[in-house]
Amino acid sequence: MHCPQCGQPQAPEVVRFCSRCGFPLDGVIQLLSTGGVLPVYQPDEGVPQISPRRRGVKQGGILFLTGVLLVPILGVLASFVPGSNFLELLVILAALICFLGGPLRMLYAALFEEGAPRRFRAITSYASPPVPLHGGAPVQNVLPAPTGQPVARSPRVQTAEFVRPPSVTEGTTRLLDKDDPHNRS
């Protein structure tokens, strides 16, 4: 198989991107494996069902938010009716059920209930296009031969061969030497 963008030959294994230009090859592999026919994907039929884990977390959240509304309303009602132990007991019971039960239901659902099934997209390995059965000539490759030339590698530079440049202070130090014929005046 050759890259449709740059013509670089690719390994026949599962290749996701062209090694030269980076062109994504997933769709090309699927197109070649089906003989040039684009696959048709059918949507899932029916209403998507909510997972038990998500349903449990949702129930716990609704129970907690119900407590946020219900407990203050019952507390206000209990304060208007003097001597009503029943309403005070109902406020305490509602607070325990909602504020303790809601988060516990969410925790139980998150830890122990089954989540939504994971959908994995299978990457199939490259298969050669099918040969037509009608007895005609086999299908030829429709991609042109690669036109790119391989890149020639230059030899590595030996850094030990570099000559160290002279120091900036060498010229000024030489001026202090009295035996040097250039310094006599």
Q: Indicate if 71 and 33 belong to the same structural domain.
A: no
Is residue 75 in a domain? yes
Q: Which comes out higher in pLDDT, residue 103 or 17?
A: 103
Q: How many domains does the chain have?
A: 2
Three-class secondary structure of residue 17 per DSSP: strand
> Residue 72: which domain range?
52-112
Distance CA 103, CA 96 (A): 11
Share of the chain above pLDDT 70, in %: 63
Confidence band of 65 (pLDDT split at 50, 70, 90): very high
User: Average pLDDT of the chain?
Assistant: 76
Helix segments in 46-175, DSSP class H: 52-80, 85-112, 170-174
Shared-domain flag, residues 65 and 102: yes
Q: Which residues pair with 15 in a beta bridge?
A: none
- Residue 12 forms part of a structural domain: yes
**Band of the pLDDT at 69, cuts 50, 70, 90?**
very high
35 lies in the same domain as 57: no
Q: Has residue 163 been placed in a domain? A: no
pLDDT digits (tens, 9 = 90+) for 120-174: 555 555 555 555 555 555 556 667 777 777 667 777 767 666 677 677 776 676 6
- Whether residues 79 and 33 share a domain: the answer is no
In a domain, 18, yes or no: yes
Structure letter (DSSP) for residue 6: T
Last residue of a domain, one of 97, 112, 127: 112
Same-domain status, 57 and 102: yes
Give yes or no: residues 16 and 66 share one domain. Answer: no
pLDDT-above-90 percentage for the chain: 26
